[in-house]
Chain A
Amino acid sequence: MKTTPKILTLLCLLLTTSAQAALVTNGDFQSCDFAGWDNYTDGVRHTSPNTDFAIVNNAGACQAKVSIDVASGASAFFANTLSTEIDFTAASNAQLWLSFDWVFSGFDDGSNLADVFFVNFTNSLGDITGADANPGFLFEPTSTYGAGTYSMMLDNRFINQSGWFLDFNLEGGFTPDSFSSTLLIDNVALRSAPTNVPGPPMSALLLLGAAALFTRHKQSIRTI
Chain B
Amino acid sequence: MKLLIRINLLLMLLLAPLADAAWQNTDSGDFSYASRPVYDRVNRQYSAIVTLTNTGNAISGPMRVLFDASSHDIMNSQGTESDIPFIALSINELAGGASHQFTVKLSLTRAALAMDMRLQADLAPDTGLTLADNQIALFYKREDANYQGWGLHVWNGEGCGDYGAPTTDDSHFANWADPYPVDGEHPVYGAYYILTITPGASCYNFIVHNGDNKALGNSNSRFEPANGQQAFAFDGYPELWYEPIESRPFSIDGAKAHWMTANTLVWLTATNAAEYRLYTSAEAGLSNVNNDSLANASFTPLTMANEDPAIYAQDPQLSGFSGFYLNLTDTQAKQWAKQQLLAVALDAQGELLEATRVQIPRLIDSLYTNGPDDADEAELGVTYTNSTITATLWAPTATGVNLVVYNSSKHAIASHAMSLNTQSGVWFYSGARTALDRQFYQYDISVFHPLTQQNEQLTVTDPYSVSLATNGRYSQFVNLHDEDLKPTNWDTHTVPTITDPEDAVIYEGHIRDFSILDQSTSAAHRGKYLAFTELNSVPMQHLQRLQAAGLTHFHVLPANDIASIEEDINQRVDLTDSVAKLCQLNSAAPVCGVQNEQDTLLQVLQSYDPSTTDAQSLVESMRAMDGFNWGYDPQHFAAPEGSYATDPDGVSRIIEMRAMNQALHQIGLRVVLDVVYNHAASSGLSDNSVLDKVVPGYYHRLNETSGQIENSTCCENTATEHKMMAKLMNDSLVSFAEHFGFDGFRFDLMGHIPKQGIMDAREAVRAVDADTYFYGEGWNFGEVADNRRFEQASQLNMAGSEIGTYSDRQRDAVRDGALFTGGSINQQDVIRVGLVGNVASYQFVAASDAYVSTYDYQWNGQPAGYSDDPADTINYISKHDNETLWDKLQYALPEGLAIQDRVRIQNVALSIPLLSQGIPFLHMGSDFIRSKSMDRNTYDAGDWFNQVDFTLQTSNWNKGLPLAQDNQNNWAAIGEVSANPNSDFTTTDIQLSAALFTEFLHIRSASKLFHLNSAKDIAQRIKFYNTGSQQIQGLIVMSLDDGIGLDDIDSNNDAIVVLINGSASAQSFAVPNANGFALHQSQQQSADTRVQSATFSAGTFNVPALTTAVFVKAQNGSQGYGLSALPPYAEQPIYLRGDFNEWDTSLPFSYQGNDTYVVNADLLQGDYQFKIADQDFAAVNIGGEFTVPVAAPAILSNGANNLSLSLIADGRYEFVLDAANSANPTLTIIPDDPNAIPPPYGNHMPLLRGDMNGWGTTSPLTYQGNGIYRGVFMLDAGGYNFKIADQDWGGQRRPKSRG
Give bound CA distance, A112 to B33, whole Å: 13
The answer to whether B40 has its CB under 8 Å from any CB of chain A is yes
Q: Which of B1, B35, B112 is within 8 Å of A133, CB to CB?
A: B1
The answer to whether B36 has its CB under 8 Å from any CB of chain A is yes
Are B38 and A118 in touch, CB under 8 angstroms?
yes
Are A122 and B40 in touch, CB under 8 angstroms?
yes
Distance of A91 from chain B, by nearest CB (Å): 19
Interface string of A116-137 (1 = CB under 8 A from B): 1010001111111110011111
Closest partner residue, chain B, to A132 (CB atom): B101
Are A126 and B40 in touch, CB under 8 angstroms?
yes
Are B41 and A83 in touch, CB under 8 angstroms?
yes
Give bound CA distance, A136 to B35, whole Å: 14
The answer to whether B226 has its CB under 8 Å from any CB of chain A is no
Contacts of A143 in B (CB 8 A): 36
Determine which residue in A113, A129, A135 has the highest number of CB atoms from chain B within 10 A of its CB, and name it: A135
Give bound CA distance, A110 to B39, whole Å: 18
Are B41 and A125 in touch, CB under 8 angstroms?
no
Distance of B74 from chain A, by nearest CB (Å): 14
Are A137 and B49 in touch, CB under 8 angstroms?
yes
Give bound CA distance, A161 to B1, whole Å: 8
How many B residues, CB 8 Å from partner?
24
How many A residues, CB 8 Å from partner?
33
Are B39 and A79 in touch, CB under 8 angstroms?
yes
Determine which residue in B35, B40, B44, B101 has the highest number of CB atoms from chain A within 10 A of its CB, and name it: B40
Tell me which residues from 53 to 106 in chain A have a Cβ below 8 Å from any Cβ of chain B. Answer: 78-79, 81, 83
The answer to whether A157 has its CB under 8 Å from any CB of chain B is yes
Contacts of B35 in A (CB 8 A): 112
Are B41 and A79 in touch, CB under 8 angstroms?
yes
Contacts of A42 in B (CB 8 A): 39, 41, 44
Q: Which of B102-110, B337-345, B718-726 contacts A (4 or more CB under 8 A)?
A: B102-110
Tell me which residues from 1 to 53 in chain B have a Cβ below 8 Å from any Cβ of chain A. Answer: 1-2, 4, 34-36, 38-45, 47, 49
Are B34 and A126 in touch, CB under 8 angstroms?
no
Closest partner residue, chain A, to B42 (CB atom): A126
The answer to whether A34 has its CB under 8 Å from any CB of chain B is no
The answer to whether B111 has its CB under 8 Å from any CB of chain A is yes
Give bound CA distance, A71 to B1, whole Å: 41
Q: Which of A167-175, A180-188, A212-220 contacts B (4 or more CB under 8 A)?
A: A167-175
Are A169 and B41 in touch, CB under 8 angstroms?
yes
Q: Which of B38, B110, B112 is within 8 Å of A128, CB to CB?
A: B38
Closest partner residue, chain B, to A140 (CB atom): B34
Are A116 and B36 in touch, CB under 8 angstroms?
yes
Closest partner residue, chain B, to A163 (CB atom): B2
Give bound CA distance, A122 to B34, whole Å: 19
Are A135 and B39 in touch, CB under 8 angstroms?
no
The answer to whether A194 has its CB under 8 Å from any CB of chain B is no
Contacts of A127 in B (CB 8 A): 1-2, 103
Closest partner residue, chain B, to A38 (CB atom): B41
The answer to whether A141 has its CB under 8 Å from any CB of chain B is yes
Contacts of B103 in A (CB 8 A): 127-128, 135
Give bound CA distance, A16 to B108, whole Å: 43
Contacts of B101 in A (CB 8 A): 130, 134-136
CB-CB under 8 A for A169 and B38, given A129-B1, A134-B101, A136-B101: yes
Distance of B1008 from chain A, by nearest CB (Å): 103
Are B42 and A125 in touch, CB under 8 angstroms?
yes
Are A128 and B47 in touch, CB under 8 angstroms?
yes
CB-CB under 8 A for A141 and B34, given A127-B2, A127-B103, A135-B101: yes
Give bound CA distance, A167 to B56, whole Å: 36
Contacts of B108 in A (CB 8 A): 78
Contacts of A130 in B (CB 8 A): 101
The answer to whether A40 has its CB under 8 Å from any CB of chain B is yes
CB-CB under 8 A for A171 and B38, given A134-B101, A136-B101: yes
Closest partner residue, chain A, to B39 (CB atom): A79
Distance of A127 from chain B, by nearest CB (Å): 6
Q: Which of B36, B43, B110 is within 8 Å of A141, CB to CB?
A: B36
Are B36 and A126 in touch, CB under 8 angstroms?
no
Give bound CA distance, A124 to B35, whole Å: 25
Are A78 and B102 in touch, CB under 8 angstroms?
no
Give bound CA distance, A113 to B110, whole Å: 9
Distance of B1151 from chain A, by nearest CB (Å): 97
Distance of B924 from chain A, by nearest CB (Å): 89
Give bound CA distance, A127 to B87, whole Å: 14
The answer to whether A200 has its CB under 8 Å from any CB of chain B is no
Are A40 and B49 in touch, CB under 8 angstroms?
no
Closest partner residue, chain B, to A167 (CB atom): B41
The answer to whether A43 has its CB under 8 Å from any CB of chain B is yes
Are A135 and B49 in touch, CB under 8 angstroms?
yes
Are A126 and B47 in touch, CB under 8 angstroms?
yes
Closest partner residue, chain B, to A137 (CB atom): B49
Determine which residue in B41, B105, B110 has the highest number of CB atoms from chain A within 10 A of its CB, and name it: B41
Give bound CA distance, A76 to B1246, whole Å: 119
Are B41 and A81 in touch, CB under 8 angstroms?
yes
Are A43 and B38 in touch, CB under 8 angstroms?
no
Interface string of A185-211 (1 = CB under 8 A from B): 000000000000000000000000000
Give bound CA distance, A69 to B9, whole Å: 43
Give bound CA distance, A137 to B33, whole Å: 12
Contacts of A174 in B (CB 8 A): 110-112
Are B45 and A126 in touch, CB under 8 angstroms?
yes
Contacts of A116 in B (CB 8 A): 36, 38
Closest partner residue, chain A, to B35 (CB atom): A112
Distance of B43 from chain A, by nearest CB (Å): 4
Closest partner residue, chain B, to A171 (CB atom): B39
The 3 closest A-B pairs by CB, nearest first: A126-B42, A79-B39, A43-B44
Which residues of B come within 8 Å of A, CB atoms? 1-2, 4, 34-36, 38-45, 47, 49, 101-103, 105, 108, 110-112
Q: 7 pairs across A/B with beta carbons < 8 Å?
A: A81-B39, A127-B2, A128-B40, A136-B101, A141-B34, A157-B4, A174-B111
20 extra interface residue pairs, beta carbon distance < 8 Å, beyond A126-B41, A157-B1: A78-B110, A79-B39, A112-B36, A113-B112, A116-B38, A118-B38, A122-B42, A125-B43, A126-B45, A126-B105, A127-B2, A128-B38, A130-B101, A133-B1, A134-B1, A135-B102, A137-B38, A161-B1, A169-B39, A171-B38
